[in-house]
Amino acid sequence: MPLFRSVMPREIQFRQAIAEAMSEEMRRDESVYLMGEEVAQYNGAYKASKGMLDEFGPSRVIDTPISELGFSGIGIGSAMNGNRPIIEFMTFNFSLLAIDQIINNAAKIRQMSGGQWPIPIVFRGPTASAGQLAATHSQAFESWYANCPGLKVVVPSNPYDAKGLLKSAIRDDDPVVFMESEQMYGDKMGVPQEEYTIPLGMADIKRKGSDVTVVSFGKVIKQAYQAAAELEKEGISLEIIDLRTLRPLDYQTVVESVKQTNRLVVLEEAWPLGSVATEVTYMIQRLAFDYLDAPIKRVTTADTPSPYSAAMFAAWYPSAQKLIRAVREVLYIK
């Protein structure tokens, strides 16, 4: 029998990475619990809490009525009394029903109380489009929440980041809005079994490149990887930065990349007005204007509600081909 054997890194789904992060933190800290619609008996609408009811029981994995405003308020009051709730929304489209609690209470109580009440709470669930779900179930609210002081906003793009960032979010003493994607829950990648966390507020360079910096986050970053593979065949090298955290936002990593590539395209699955792409564009023009050899381009959804038609949705969505066109434009290639 050999003394050493190679151990292949285990691959797990995004949903399992989320479940592991929550379960590990609940084992570590008895003040952590999960609450939301169908999180317990049904194992989560997307099976992101599978097995947790069996391990932790109904006092720590709590099914709620269809009342986002109500159970978000319960969570905030619980956080004020020393607990660390994780509030799951079946979709962030439904978080609009709780936005008064999130914006006017969770985000503000620490300051309004003179620091007496930290609010260690995580609001998590899927955001943006998930196929043909039409206008009211395909909305990206990342920039809405990132606009509010007092909140931290996290949007992971893969299982490894999701687990490490969620563990940090649960341990944070401020409210964190943690936004996933229904279309990523089945994604697989290698995730360590050992304990690890990823600090909030740090972007990650997912692909080194020399010609154009592409900044993105969440599931739409997959379009950047596709575009990079296509453009590489033509000798065009993209550097891809995954923001991961939108508030606080890591401007410096983007600045340092733009200093090397001298060109920037921002890719985001959201409406253009008031988007994260708009903010990044403004800040990079302010912090790195002298390094830019071309105007910054942004690739977003069309400025309309999401259509239901598959053909219209494809025209609305910020695709790899749209990103390729934007890259050609900043490189002045026809």
- Catalytic residue numbers read 68, 137
Residue 282, exposed/middle/buried by CB under 10 A (0-12, 13-18, 19+)? exposed
Residue that has been written with the tokens 């269809």 in this structure: 66
Our separate counts of H helices and E strands in the chain read 12, 14
Residue type at 269 in one-letter notation: E
Mention every residue, 6+ apart, whose C-beta is less than 8 A from residue 263.
Answer: 211, 212, 213, 292, 293, 294, 330, 331
| Structure-token pair, residue 7 | 């151990």
Instruction: Characterise 81 by phi-psi region: left (phi > 0), alpha (psi -120 to 50), beta (else).
Output: alpha
SS3 state at 192? coil
Give the neighbor-by-neighbor strand order of the sheet with 32-36: 61-63, 32-36, 84-88, 122-126, 176-180, 152-154, 245-247
Residue that has been written with the tokens 């009051």 in this structure: 77
CA distances from 282 to 150, 154, 260, 321 (A): 22, 21, 19, 24
